A and B are shown apart, each in its own frame.
Chain A
Amino acid sequence: MNLDKNILVKLNNAGFRQNNKWLVEGVSLQVEKGKIVTLIGPNGSGKSTTAKIALGIYKNIEGSVEKYTNKIGYVPQKISIDWTLPLRVNDFMVLTENIKDDQINEALSLTGVMHLKNKNLGNLSGGEFQRVLLARAISKKPELLVLDEPVQGVDFTGEIALYELIKKISDTLNCGILLISHDLHTVMTATDHVVCLNGHVCCSGSPIDVAKNNEYKTLFGEQASQILSIYEHKHDHEHSDEGSIKKN
């Protein structure tokens, strides 16, 4: 039963085991409309696995997943397109849903790759392809976006622009976003809720709560928590006159 209409997907104590090894276990989280939930954690901590559990790609899971939407856009971490497929960007955009041409153009323009529309997918660079992947996911105006390292391989200025775009999408479309990122600095500026994973949920909460958490500090080091405090400081400064400086 979905009592709260804003919930798009909810994991209850979910876990996934492969070859008798837990990839991740005991994850509870929920993504709501208009909210960005970010998964952070070291390599192999189960971030992508958690995303795949939420998406229903993994079937035999422990715990449960409640999904309240079918309009989903997904940017996977790894994707290999076979050269045996003659596939242009334009064909790729309508892969899972038939969308109108002006919607395609809009999405491609937003991610800055409109000029690649008729190019063959195999000829794109890593960063260009990443922008196309993001464009495809947002073009269908989904209710839930699952973005697994969506800006990998994108140049520095592009990275910032794309994160701004992601934030904007969550506001304008009022869609929920489950984001996975390594870039703590950028992530924290837009996230509503952070879940820190390391095979299980280490800690979760608002960015500032997570930064204060001791487990987070041992996982990412003292410096990482300073990144957050710097950000939080800036943030406070911009929005209120308190300007409180946090010491960890």
Chain B
Amino acid sequence: MFDDFFIRALIAGIGIALVAGPLGCFVIWRRLSYFGDTLSHSALLGVTIAYTFDLNIALSVFVISSVIALLLIQLQKKTNLPGDALLGLLAHSSLAVGLVVIGFLTFIRFDIMGLLFGDILAVTTNDIFVVWTGGAVILIILKLIWKPLFASTVNYELAEAEGLNPDRSKAIFTILMAAVIAISIKMVGLLLITGMLIIPAAMARNISDSPQKMVFYSIIGGLLSIVLGLFSSLEFNTSSGPSIIVASLILFILSLLKIKQSIKLKN
């Protein structure tokens, strides 16, 4: 009924939604939206390095994003610049360096649009493998650090005082962010990955009253966005990344209606 490439995209997308849901909740709770953006911008540099040295793209992106993340943490400690200025500095300079390097790679034909916005045609069986194994590892680690990470998100000092080592879980979470960007870059594209993390979680926030529910609805929202986005991308011949994000935006708008309703009920 459907072409193989479409089925592959669907399977990979479902894997991404399962991982992006819980991680996205933490991105919102810890106010890391622009941090996610910075990491995904730096992913372009990772992709170009992968092409230059013929490496696995996900692996290369993961390494570069992790390095940028650790660099950011160091810069925050060592300089007096505000966090958002450092984020902007790293995001745009790594994007620019990536684009300049592409300019030198004349021997390779780059699909820049696909890189920026995602391309379902590009998803291979190998990509599915990367998404699902990478995703499983991310989820297992997230499950292991859930308690300290969540506690320190609510209150750093409580977590530290009661022996949960919040600094360690923060560092691990940063690496997980780099990893989720690495596995989803091909599908959603580097300009829109943060949207995949934030928008379903934001939608979930509107309709949940506990952290567990928010994670659950965030995953459901992500899955629906993937399915709706990919089908409409096929139907209207639009690129996959933007279609997925538009679908999640529509879900978010619907969740606003629910808020309106519950406010009415309270009055």
Task: List the interface of chain A (C-beta within 8 A of B).
Answer: 52, 55-57, 70, 72-74, 76, 79, 81-82, 84-88, 90-92, 95-98, 120, 146
Contact = CB atoms under 8 A, between A and B. Distances in A.
B160 A96 contact: no
Interface string B78-109: 00000000000000000000000000000000
A79 B155 contact: yes
Given A84-B31, A95-B150, A96-B147, A76 B157 contact: yes
Interface of B: 28-29, 31, 147, 150-151, 153-155, 157-164, 205, 208-214
Contact of A73 (B157, B160, B162): B162
B163 A87 contact: no
19 contacts: A52-B157, A56-B160, A57-B161, A70-B163, A72-B161, A72-B163, A73-B162, A74-B161, A76-B157, A76-B158, A76-B161, A79-B155, A82-B154, A84-B31, A86-B208, A87-B211, A88-B210, A90-B210, A91-B210
Contact of A96 (B28, B159, B209, B214): B159
Instruction: Output the residue of A79, A82, A120, A146 with the most chain B CB within 10 A.
Output: A82
Nearest to B214: A86
A85 B210 CA distance: 8
Instruction: Output the residue of A72, A81, A85 with the most chain B CB within 10 A.
Output: A85
Given A55-B157, A76-B161, A96-B147, 18 more contacts: A55-B160, A72-B163, A74-B158, A76-B155, A76-B157, A76-B158, A79-B155, A82-B29, A84-B31, A85-B153, A86-B205, A86-B210, A86-B211, A88-B209, A95-B158, A96-B159, A96-B162, A98-B147
Contacts of B212: 91
Contacts of A76: 155, 157-158, 161
Given A91-B211, A96-B164, A97-B162, A84 B29 contact: yes
A87 B160 contact: no
Contact of B162 (A74, A86, A120): A74
A94 to B, nearest CB: 9
B29 A85 contact: yes
B108 to A, nearest CB: 42
Contacts of B164: 96
B132 to A, nearest CB: 29
Contacts of B151: 95-96
A92 B154 contact: yes
B54 to A, nearest CB: 43
Nearest to B208: A86
Q: DSSP majority for the A interface?
A: loop
Contacts of A81: 154-155
Contacts of A90: 210
A79 B164 CA distance: 17
B14 to A, nearest CB: 25
Nearest to A146: B161
Contact of A86 (B160, B163, B209): B209
B214 A57 contact: no
A55 B163 CA distance: 9
A74 B154 CA distance: 14
Contacts of A92: 154
B213 A86 contact: yes
A31 B239 CA distance: 65
Nearest to A142: B162
Contacts of A88: 209-210
Given A76-B155, A79-B155, A95-B151, A85 B211 contact: yes
B201 to A, nearest CB: 10
Given A91-B211, A96-B147, A120-B209, A85 B162 contact: no
A91 B158 CA distance: 15
A55 B29 CA distance: 25
A95 B162 CA distance: 10
B158 to A, nearest CB: 6
Contacts of A79: 155, 157-158
A56 B155 CA distance: 15
Contacts of A120: 209
B155 A57 contact: no
A103 B97 CA distance: 56
A233 B177 CA distance: 63
Contacts of B208: 86
A98 B146 CA distance: 12
B59 to A, nearest CB: 33
A91 B208 CA distance: 13
